[in-house]
Structure 1
């Protein structure tokens, strides 16, 4: 079997190695991986900027899907041939995250950029029946993050307005999930072309943040001055001030990033916050239970995750370069 490893974290990339196919032990499942996808956290790991120290030599990428090739003694959740996807936090099965669960695929535990992955059965969820391998491989990080951003806080009112920022993987998923749940969506983006594409995906309104740098004013105009019930802030901390200004009186701002290229800390504008009762909430992907709940919605609503481009296993350099270029509209996937 072949796997791509990360031996150093200085941006130099992926190292291909060959190994024997492992044998699953008690409670373990051997997955024949069919596709894996990139997320922002993978770039941060490759470049040595990720807050959780990765293990040297770790197999890369948190997100991947495949079929069960073999099971170890005592496995009851899956059988050979089942289509499965790995959970981002492989030991966080449900409830609240605690210190005993700090173990991530592609970081502290071998990830999914490999022909075969060996995982505990508790780290796997079923793949929605209608998804391709490439689509399924996008669920665990971006999909679950969007899901917990929208559903993980106080219940939103019927017909709530959800704001998404930009056209990254989480934001595009958030548009699809929010629409499937019956909410109104306002998306921010940077060009008329992207505005049209995000409307096609389901957005009810779009604000161009290049034309309107204070895009919160555009959100308020589209909501009759009331503001949005939920802002999924994927661009923070640079955008936190505008997100608060775009919030309704008792809205929620979901903050996914706490540092950026230009800011090392989150600064909350006192004047803006004084005018609202908005809650700022942190999300760090979600548990296997969240992944399973997302899968149920994806299946019942027939959601098709947006895939920008699929590369071959031998094209990892080209795939990563395309991902970091920032030109993708949808997920970048490697078929295995």
Structure 2
């Protein structure tokens, strides 16, 4: 079978397409024929070597595929079932614990492979009616947005959500927020992407290059009150404006560091004077993923996939991501039969 492995010390030039043996599931494992994956920012950091990992690591955390073989003790799945990955395959329920937070495609081998043998407990079903490429966008980006807005944010109809940019988490957050009756303000630096955001339901859009202090623009669009929730994916370069944009007693979900990990100015007084609530979000447990799937069963939401690459072209897919040419998710096609 074909598999992408990352040679140390990382870098797109060290992504190697290799031939290797198909794994055999142990008693409590299932064998998944991997149909699709999708790219996340975490995957990019691993591929670039910015998150060090073992030599020969099989990358990618997202997967949707078919169960083609089961171990003798497997009871949850049958051959022919369609499943999707959990980014933390050992975090089934409850609060995070360090020993449960082994990230697949980073701390252990992931899904840039045609077949994967994994514990029957490490996957969930996909939403009813979803294709495998659609389902493969959910385990990281979709679940992150779900936890930010639902588990931690406790989003209510009529509240206002700010999303930053047009990556996978932000687009999912926009779609989820609108489906739950919230108003959405979205930022982007591209006039074309701003139009696409409005077409997806964004109530207001702000060009953050034209308005570097875009937090003030958010206040102007909310009668000076600010937003109830901020989906903060930018990191150090955007955090100050996120604090400015949040309303008194608002919620900021800290998710990404696209603009860097360090905050350039001291803003702690603004945080506690506004009595803001911060949530650090790194995906969620499997029970949260199951709740998301059940919600999507009843929803008309479908992921936005702007580009699809074959597994062998994964370096080009990552470069496409680096160049910020995508809108929503980049899909990786692994088995198309």
CA distance in 2, matches of 1:54, 1:166: 28
Residues 6-54 of structure 1, C-alpha deviations (whole Å, 9 max, x = no match): 121331331122222221112111000001111111111122212xx42
What residue number does 2:7 align with?
7
Show the 5 A alignment for 1:27-66.
27-50=28-51, 53-66=52-65
Show the 5 A alignment for 1:96-135.
96-135=95-134
CA distance in 1, matches of 2:227, 2:262: 27
Q: 2:121 is paired with a residue of what secondary structure?
A: helix
Whether the 8 Å contact between 1:247 and 1:253 is mirrored in structure 2 is: yes
Identify the match of residue 267 of structure 2 among 241, 260, 269: 269
Whether the 8 Å contact between 2:236 and 2:259 is mirrored in structure 1 is: no
- Give, in angstroms, the shift of residue 119 of structure 1: 1.1
CA distance in 2, matches of 1:156, 1:100: 30
- Give, in angstroms, the shift of residue 211 of structure 1: 1.5
- Give, in angstroms, the shift of residue 313 of structure 1: 2.8
Whether the 8 Å contact between 2:37 and 2:64 is mirrored in structure 1 is: yes
Note the residue ranges of structure 2 that are not aligned, 5 or more in a row. Answer: none
- Give, in angstroms, the shift of residue 264 of structure 1: 3.6
Q: 1:268 to 1:183 in 2, by over 3 A?
A: farther
CA distance in 2, matches of 1:141, 1:68: 21
CA distance in 2, matches of 1:155, 1:129: 24
Show the 5 A alignment for 1:163-202.
163-202=162-201
What residue number does 2:297 align with?
299
What residue number does 2:79 align with?
80
Q: TM-score, normalised by structure 2?
A: 0.94
- Give, in angstroms, the shift of residue 317 of structure 1: 3.0
CA distance in 2, matches of 1:34, 1:25: 21
Q: 1:3 is paired with a residue of what secondary structure?
A: strand
Q: 2:330 is paired with a residue of what secondary structure?
A: strand
After superposing the two structures, state which structure 1 stretch, 127-136 or 63-72, moved more.
127-136
Q: 1:25 to 1:282 in 2, by over 3 A?
A: same
Q: 2:236 is paired with a residue of what secondary structure?
A: coil
CA distance in 2, matches of 1:202, 1:297: 19
Q: 1:310 to 1:156 in 2, by over 3 A?
A: closer
- Give, in angstroms, the shift of residue 152 of structure 1: 2.3
Q: 1:286 is paired with a residue of what secondary structure?
A: coil
Whether the 8 Å contact between 1:9 and 1:48 is mirrored in structure 2 is: yes
Q: Does 1:309 align with 2:307?
A: yes
Q: 1:81 to 1:255 in 2, by over 3 A?
A: same
Q: 1:80 to 1:6 in 2, by over 3 A?
A: same
Whether the 8 Å contact between 1:134 and 1:310 is mirrored in structure 2 is: no
CA distance in 1, matches of 2:27, 2:170: 39
Q: 1:238 is paired with a residue of what secondary structure?
A: helix
Show the 5 A alignment for 1:279-290.
279-290=277-288
CA distance in 1, matches of 2:66, 2:130: 13
- Give, in angstroms, the shift of residue 308 of structure 1: 0.8
Whether the 8 Å contact between 2:167 and 2:328 is mirrored in structure 1 is: yes
RMSD: 1.7
- Give, in angstroms, the shift of residue 312 of structure 1: 2.0
- Give, in angstroms, the shift of residue 328 of structure 1: 0.7
Runs of 4+ in 1 over 6 A off after TM superposition: none
Note the residue ranges of structure 1 that are not aligned, 5 or more in a row. Answer: none
- Give, in angstroms, the shift of residue 251 of structure 1: 0.3
What residue number does 2:27 align with?
26
- Give, in angstroms, the shift of residue 263 of structure 1: 4.7
Q: TM-score, normalised by structure 1?
A: 0.94
- Give, in angstroms, the shift of residue 243 of structure 1: 0.7
CA distance in 2, matches of 1:268, 1:70: 55
Q: Does 1:139 align with 2:138?
A: yes
- Give, in angstroms, the shift of residue 267 of structure 1: 5.3
Residues 218-246 of structure 1, C-alpha deviations (whole Å, 9 max, x = no match): 21122111110000000012211111111
Q: 1:159 is paired with a residue of what secondary structure?
A: coil
